[in-house]
Amino acid sequence: MIARWSLLVITALVLQVGMAPEFPVFGVVGNLLLLVAVSGGVAGGPDRGAIVGFCCGLLMDLARGSGALGLSALAYTLVAAGVGATMTQVLQMRRLPTMGIVAAGSAVGTLLFAVEGQLFGERTLTNPRLMTIVVVAALVNGALSPLALRFAAWAERRPEEPKVLGAVDV
């Protein structure tokens, strides 16, 4: 399970750094690492979400190379754990509500990063494009969530569990 999550997180990092900047939406680059973090909370619950969120956030901080190290790690950890806790409270999920939860988690994670940045002296809350960034992050991650959740379910599957073709565990 750790190897699959590691592969998923590293792949998201490579895509985030190498490919995502080539496809901006309204000038905003999607946040694939936040998507993987939130998907980790959906697929694995709050504990797994916190671990995956911390790893994704720390890698995002290192990839950015600017600002205070750990801001994304803190934001992604809190959001992914919160989404995981929300998912444990919701009994029967359909695709659309799950997409909405991923989108909302992505919006909250982006806003939380902006609040943390402001606390550490960056001008993230006063950025005039902040709402555009939040909306694009939510829409892009919501749209990509079915694919991300399939990969997260694959990464979360225990080795002793049988593989059922076409089934999604989220």
Query: Does the pLDDT value for residue 75 go beyond 90?
Result: yes
pLDDT digit string (tens) for 122-157? 888 999 999 999 999 999 999 999 999 999 999 998
Query: Which H or E element spans position 60?
Result: helix 32-64
Q: Confirm whether 161 is domain-assigned.
A: no
% the chain with pLDDT above 70: 88
CB-based contact 152:43 (threshold 8 Å): yes
Task: Please give the pLDDT value at position 166.
Answer: 47
Q: Confirm whether 17 is domain-assigned.
A: no
How many alpha carbons fall within 13 Å on the CB side of residue 141? 32
Task: Please give the pLDDT value at position 170.
Answer: 45
- Residue-wise DSSP of 89-137: H--S--HHHHHHHHHHHHHHHHHHHHHHHHHTT---TT-TTHHHHHHHH
When comparing pLDDT for 53 and 163, which is higher?
53
Find the domain containing 115 and state its range: 2-9+30-156
- Tally of structural domains, the chain: 1
Across the chain, mean pLDDT equals: 89
